[in-house]
Amino acid sequence: MSDEKLTPQKVDFSEWYNQIVQRAEMADYAPVRGCMVVRPYGWALWENIQLALDRRFKDTGHVNAAFPLLIPMSFLEKEKDHVEGFSPELAVVTIGGGEKLEEPLVVRPTSETIIGYMYSKWIKSYRDLPVLINQWGNVVRWELRTRLFLRTLEFYWQEGHTAHATEQEARAETMRMLDVYADFAINEGAVPVIKGVKSQAEKFAGANLSASIEAMMGDTRALQAGTSHFLAQNFAKAFNIQYLDENNTQQYVWTTSWGLSTRFIGAIIMTHGDDQGLILPPRLAPIQAVIIPIFKSVPETTAVMECVRRVEAELKAAGVRVKVDDRTEVTPGFKFNDWEMRGVPLRIEIGPKDIEKNTIALARRDKPGREGKSFVPQTQLAVKVADLLVEIQQALLERATSFRDSHIFEPRDYAELVEVVQNGWAYSYWCESPECETKVKEDTKATTRCLPLDQEEAPGKCIVCGKAAEHKVYFARAY
């Protein structure tokens, strides 16, 4: 880590983001353009994301499995919209074991096709349904413009693939998993997301309906943080996934798919970070509290370190993810900056004065300076730290929510819409025609993000063309 200051967010948000990802040692650029190396600190955050999601998937009846990385090219071609959507992004293997392959293999961009193929073998009767499988893995999409975590050629994610007997069940599953994502984003990531349905232009290639959770980043741009798709019988028909129903009649299944990726790390960084660095939500932070010993002389060292180890043991026993920074080659001031950069939610300082007074100093990452600092007795420390972590988690969510809400506008006319999407989101009636959607995109670079689920049904007039519109939509520039 260098001592150089980060580029402030207001000066260049994008540069701030690139610097923070590297300096906090979250990820690095790989030798292949567009690929990323997730470094241990970034991966530890991803592991906590995985744990929080996986628990929710299992609680809703899903199981994990693993499907292969390589998919026959012909599989992709079976679903027309799917192949059209993904063709430009495919990485194709044509040589294997030194010989030209009879059929090229695609490095999976997503796994609907290979899983659909397997489901057609496994599903025979209504008794086999529903099938609720999730896979943790990596996929490759040959993106041209890439950014670490946000859009990379290869990324890590989970993809759920379910098959159901009825349309109603599959639609319910699509929305249930959207709820799971929203619950995770809000309560674990402290990222206040909006649940909604994508427009026809923005939906997943091969889906009848795509739903998403949309988050607002610190520069007010939108980020699609997770998606859930109702695939109807599109893949069931392409892969002949049929079952015998209770009346002994062959029926096609109804399928869904849903995914959340390492992109969510980008969402966390850009939702909470500031000019000093990352700010990680305590529930997902790899290190929740860092202890920094402060001493000048050798006798001080012994007493301080004894106290440090006692506090460390107490916090560990209470389940706090704690780390002692006992480096001797750098100053405490350097350590403060270093852990601020890495976004550790709570800093614990222990020095000779604290030993005398039987206190310690706690400094919150989300409230810099004196405001976030408190001196507390060493007794019952674990309880205090745990409470404070809950408080920080809550404060991050509140701050992000109020930032978001103060940057969502309801423009009176089109001219105002063009203006507000430069620094916020526009929430407006839209007639749902692709023409109006394209016009906004061409004029402002803002796209439709989602038609939120919880809107009141009061028809209005399209902000673009003035024709009758049933729903409101969010327009925003997006990552």
Instruction: By CB under 5 A, name the binding residues for Zn ion.
Output: 431, 436, 462, 464-465
Continuous segment of H or E residues that includes residue 297: none
- The SS3 assignment for 325 reads coil
280 to 50, 284, 345, 437: CA distances (angstroms):
16, 7, 6, 35
- Looking at the Cβ atoms of 417 and 436, the one nearer to Zn ion is 436
The residue among 385 and 473 lying less far from Zn ion, judged by its C-beta, is: 473
399 vs 439, beta carbon nearer Zn ion: 439
Contact 350, 308 (CB under 8 A): yes
In the bound complex, what is the minimum distance in angstroms from residue 429's beta carbon to Zn ion? 8
CB of 449 to Zn ion, least distance (A): 17
Would you tell me how many other CB atoms lie within 10 Å of the CB of residue 399?
17
Nearer to Zn ion by Cβ, of 60 and 433: the residue is 433
Shortest Å distance, C-beta 441 to Zn ion: 13
Please identify, using beta-carbon distances, which residue of 26 and 436 lies nearer to Zn ion: 436
What burial class does residue 40 get, using C-beta atoms within 10 Å of its C-beta: 0-12 exposed, 13-18 middle, 19+ buried? exposed
Q: Which is nearer to Zn ion, 198 or 347 (CB)?
A: 198
Q: How far is the CB of 462 from Zn ion (least distance, A)?
A: 3
Nearest-approach distance from CB 463 to Zn ion, in angstroms = 8
Q: What are phi and psi of 375, to 5 degrees?
A: -115, 120
DSSP letters spanning 114-171: HHHHHHHHH--BGGG--EEEEEEEEEE---SS-BTTTB-SEEEEEEEEEEESSHHHHH
Long-range contacts of 375-378 (CB under 8 A, 24+ apart): 378/307, 378/311, 378/354
* Least CB distance to Zn ion at residue 439 (A): 8
Reported as type and span, the H/E element at residue 84 is helix 80-86
Query: 24: which residues sit within 8 A by CB, 6+ positions away?
Result: 41, 277, 278, 341, 342, 343
Nearer to Zn ion, 237 or 441 (CB): 441
Name the minimum Å distance from CB 77 to Zn ion. 35
Please, what is the minimum distance in Å from the beta carbon of residue 364 to Zn ion? Answer: 47
Q: Nearest approach, Cβ of 475 to Zn ion (angstroms)?
A: 12
Compare residues 69 and 465 and give the one whose CB is closer to Zn ion: 465
Q: With b meaning 16 or more CB within 10 Å and e meaning fewer, what string describes 74-85?
A: ebbebbeebbeb
What token pair was written down for 6?
């980060």
Measured from the CB atom, the residue of 147 and 439 that comes closer to Zn ion is 439
Nearest of 307, 398, 322, 389 to residue 353 by alpha carbon: 307
